[in-house]
Structure 1
Amino acid sequence: MPRGQKSKLRAREKRRQARAKNALEEEGSPDPLCECPHQAVPDAGMSTPPNIQQGAHYTFSHTYENTGAQNQDEKNSDDSDDLEAWSKDPINHKVVLLVQFLMEKYHKKEVFTKADMLKCVLKTSKTAFTEILKRATEHMELAFGVDLKEVDPIRHCYALFNKLEHTFDAVKGDEKMPNTGLLMMVLGVIFKKNNCASEKEVWEVLNMMGVHANRKHFIYGEPKKVITEDLVKLKYLEYRKVPNSNPPSFEFTWGSRAQAEISKMKILEFWAKIHDATPDTFVPLYEIAVKDEEERAQARSAARARTAAMASSHSKAMVSSSSHAK
C-alpha cells in the first residue's frame, strides 16, 4: 500500500480513537456485569477484527487501483499496526460485545429493542453508543452480509436481515452465521474483472481480507470449500477449468441464481461500503450497474404486463363460458 495512503489511514484511525476516548469520558462507571447473553457465542468469532473492519476499507481500494501486491514483511507490519491500533481504541471492547449480541439475535431470529442493545454495552453515553452501534452494524454488514434495520420506530425495535432477501438462510454453511459476506466479496471481484475472475485473482483479494484457501477462517469456516463447492451447488457461483490451461487453472463467474437474484448495484453498494465510499465513485462499474438496474426494471414491467394479460384473457374466457351456459 502506498505510504501516503497508509498515513491517511493512520491519521483517520487516530481521529476515531480520539472521538471514542471523548465519548467514553462522558460515561459513568460501568456496571460490574453485562446482561447481554453474549457468552453463547464463541469469543473466537471476533479474534481478528481488523481484517473485517479497518482492513476491509483499504483492501478493496488497494485492489481496484491496481497498486500491486505488498511484500510479506510490509503486510505483516501493516497487520500488526492495525491490530495494535484496534486494541488501543477504548470503544472496541464494547463493539465486540454488541456484535456477539447481534449474532445471537440473528441466529435465534429474534426482534430486539434499543434498550436491549444498551444493556449489552453496559452504562454508555448516547455519544459513545452511537459510535458503538455504527461500528457493530458495519461489522455485521461487511463480515456476514447482514443488515440491522429498525422495524418499529415507535417502540425502537430492531431486526437483522440477510442482504440476499430471497435466500435468507440458504447461503449458510455449518456455522451459525451466513456466508453472504464472502459471496458478495467474490461476486464483487468477478464484477470488477469484467464478469470473469481467475481463481488466483479471487484469492489475492480474499487473502488481503484475511481469508485463505487452506486455512480455517473464524467466520467462514473452510473458505475454499464454501466458494468452490457450497456456493457452486447453490448456483450462486460457477467454478470452471480454463480451457487448454496447462497446468490446469480455474476461473469464477456469476452463477445463474446470482444473475437472477442479485443486482450488480447491490454488489457495488456493498463494495462501496468496504471502501467507505459511494457507488458512483467507481464510474465504469456504476454505469454498468445502472444499466443493469434499468434492464431489470424493464424485465419486471414486462413480466407484470404478461401476467395482467393472462389474467384478463382468463377472465374473458370465464365470462364467455358463463354466457354460453345460459
Structure 2
Amino acid sequence: MSISHMNELSKQGEDDVDPKERQGLVEEQLLGIEEEEEDVTLSSSLSSYSSILSDSPEEVAAAVASSPPQGPESACPSLTAGQAILLSQPQKECPGNEDEEGKNTREDPEDAESSQKEALRLKMVDLVVFLVVKYRKKQPTTKSEMLSHVIKEHQDHFPEIFGQASRCLRLLFGIEVKEVEPSNDIYFLGTTLGLTYDGGHCLPKTGLLVTILCLILLEGDCAPEEEVWKSLNVMGLYDGREHCIYGEPRELITRVWVREQYVVYRQVANSDPARYEFLWGPRAHAETSRLKVLEYLLNLKSKNPLSEEAQGKEEEEA
C-alpha cells in the first residue's frame, strides 16, 4: 500500500474507517518500509535532530532563547536570530586586496553555491524562531507574513525553507504547523499528537516526549531503559549531560514526565542487578493513541524533506 493511499485513508476520518483496521494498515506500511530498507530504524530517523541543522541544534536553541516571548506584532525576531548565529560562528580571515595583486575578484561557482546554501539555512533558522514566537503567543500566521518578515529576497525558495522549518519544529520542539485556511494560506501552530505538555518554558520540549512515546511503542509498549538511551545517544542526548534544549535528560524523562504521568518508569521484575523499563503513563493514553503515533512515525520515515503541503503547492506553481 502506498503512502498516498494511507494519506487518503487518514483524510476519510475514523467514521469511515474502522480504527483497528486503520491501525493495522499503518503498521503494515511501516513494516513495508523497514523490509525495503533494513537500515531504516527510529534511531536513524531521529538523527535528523542534529543533521537537519548541520549538527548544530544549539543555533536554533540560542536563537529561540534570545527572541522575546512578547513584543509588538511588527517586531520580527529573525534579524536578532540571524545576527546571533553569525556572531557565534568563527569568522574567516579576510583575504588580501585582490585588486592590488591583480587577481580576478569574481566569486568561484562552488563558493557561490555554498553561500546560497548557507543563506537558505539561516533563513530556515530565522523562520523557526519566527514560528516559535507565534506558537508562544498562540497566534496564527500567513504565508504572506512569513515571506515579508522572514523569507524576503529568497521567496522563490519558500517551499524548501518552509518544509525544513516545519520538520525542525516537529523534531526539535514537537510543534506542528497546520494550514487552517488553505484559500488564504493561514497557518496555526500546535503541539504534536495533541499532547498538552510543552515544558512551560522558553524552549518547548514536546519533541523529546514524542520520541520517548515512539520508542516505547516500537519496543512492544514496554521499552528497556538501555535501548531508550541507545536511541537518545544517536540524537546527541546523554545521561547526565546538559542539552541545549531539553536540559538534563534523565531528570526530564524519569522525574518530570513521570510526575506529569506521561511516562511510567519501573524496575523490571526479579532483575538483579536492577534494570528499568519505560511504559506509557495514563496521561499519554488519555491525550494520544497508538494510531496517532504510528501515523507520526510513518510521516517521519518519509524521505521527502518537504512537507506534503509545501510539495503540493510547489507542483501547482510549476
Q: TM-score, normalised by structure 1?
A: 0.56
Counterparts of 1:236-275 in structure 2 under 5 Å?
236-275=262-301
Provide Cα deviations, 1:235-274, integer angstroms capped at 9, x if missing partner. Answer: 1110011223233221101112212321112112222333
1:123 equivalent in alignment to 2:174: no
TM-score, normalising length from structure 2? 0.57
Q: Tell me what 2:136 maps to.
A: 107
**Residue pairs, 1:146-295, within 5 angstroms:** 146-165=175-194, 167-168=195-196, 171-276=197-302
One-letter identity of the residue aligned with 2:76: C
Instruction: For 1:110, give the aligned amino acid.
Output: Q
Counting aligned pairs with the same residue, the percent is 38
Aligned to 1:138: 167
Question: Contact 1:239/1:251 (CA < 8 Å) preserved in 2?
Answer: yes
Pairing 1:97–2:97 present: no
Question: Larger Cα Rg: Structure 1 or Structure 2?
Answer: 1
CA–CA distance in 2 between the matches of 1:232 and 1:86? 45
Asked if the contact 1:35/1:120 (under 8 Å) is kept, the reply is no
Given the superposition, is the C-alpha separation of residues 217 and 39 from structure 1 closer, same or farther in structure 2, using an over 3 Å criterion?
farther
Shift of 1:175: 2.9
Amino acid at match of 2:212: V
Long gaps (5+) in structure 2? 1-37, 46-73, 89-113, 305-318
Q: Distance in 1 between matches of 2:216 and 2:277?
A: 9
Secondary structure at 2:258 match in 1 = helix
CA distance in 2 between partners of 1:37 and 1:226 (Å) = 28
What is the CA deviation profile of residues 30-54 of structure 1, one whole-angstrom value per residue up to 9, with x for unaligned ones?
A: xxxx97323676968xx9xxxxxxx
The answer as to whether partners of 2:81 and 2:129 remain within 8 angstroms in 1 is yes
Pairing of 1:298-317 with structure 2 (within 5 A): none
Instruction: Tell me the distance in 2 between the aligned counterparts of 1:260 and 1:115.
Output: 37
1:221 is displaced (CA, Å) by 2.1
| Structure 1 unmatched ranges of 5 or more | 10-33, 48-84, 279-326
Tell me the number of residue pairs that the alignment of Structure 1 and Structure 2 aligns: 207
Letter in 1 for 2:171: L
Which moves more between the two structures, 192-201 or 89-98?
A: 89-98
From 57, 72, 76, the equivalent of 1:36 is 76
Secondary structure of 2:153's aligned partner:
coil
